[in-house]
Amino acid sequence: MQIQFELLFIIVMDALIRRCAKHIRQAQALVILSGAGMSVDSGLPDFSGDQGLIKRLEKVEGDYRNIISPKYFEEKPEKFWYIYGDRYNQYTKATPHKGYELLLDICEKKKEYFIRTSNVDNMWARAGFDQERIYEIHGSIYHLQCHSC
C-alpha cells in the first residue's frame, strides 16, 4: 500500500510540475516571492526555525523585537553593532546557491520579471538579478538608514 501511495504521489507531482513549467513558459512576466527559506541552501539560517535568527537573538537578549528596535540601538550600540556585524559577516561569506542560477536563467528569457523578498541578505542581486527588479521589503543589511529621519 505504501509503495502504491508513493508511486501515485510521484505521478501527481510530475503532472503538477509539468503544468507549472508550461505556465511559466507561456507567461509574459514572472513575479518571484521569497523569504528566508530561499537562502537556507546558501548556508544562512532561516528567520524563525529552530536554528533561526530569532532563536539566536533571543539567546543574547530575550525578545528579539527589543534588539531590532531604535531604542536598543541607542541604549546598547556596542551590542547592536556586534549582532549586526555577525549577521553582515554571515551574509557576505555566503554565496547564492544553484537555485538562484536556475531562476535567473528562466527570468532572463522573459521580457519582465520582478523579485519581492523579505530577505535582507542581498542574494538576489549577488546572483545576477537586475537590482531594479528586486524589491527588498525589509531593506538590506548593506544599506543603513537613519532611524530618526
Is position 138 annotated as part of the catalytic site?
A: yes
What is d(CA 32, CA 107) in angstroms, rounded to the nearest whole number? Answer: 9
Residue 61 is predicted with a pLDDT of 73
What is d(CA 40, CA 37) in angstroms, rounded to the nearest whole number? Answer: 5
Sign of CA dihedral 48, 141, 80, 87: positive
**Which grid coordinates are listed for 97?**
546557491
Q: Average of pLDDT values for 44-53?
A: 78
Determine which one of 23, 97, 138, 143 is catalytic: 138
Using the predicted structure, report yes or no on whether residue 14 has a pLDDT greater than 70. yes
Mean pLDDT of the chain: 87
* Stretch among 3-12, 23-32, 33-42, 83-92 having the lowest mean pLDDT: 3-12
Tell me the per-residue pLDDT of 109-136, one tens digit each, with 9 for 90 and over. 988 999 999 999 999 999 999 999 999 9
What is d(CA 59, CA 83) in angstroms, rounded to the nearest whole number? Answer: 12
**Structural domains of the chain in order of their starting residue, each with its CATH number:** 27-136 (3.40.50.1220)
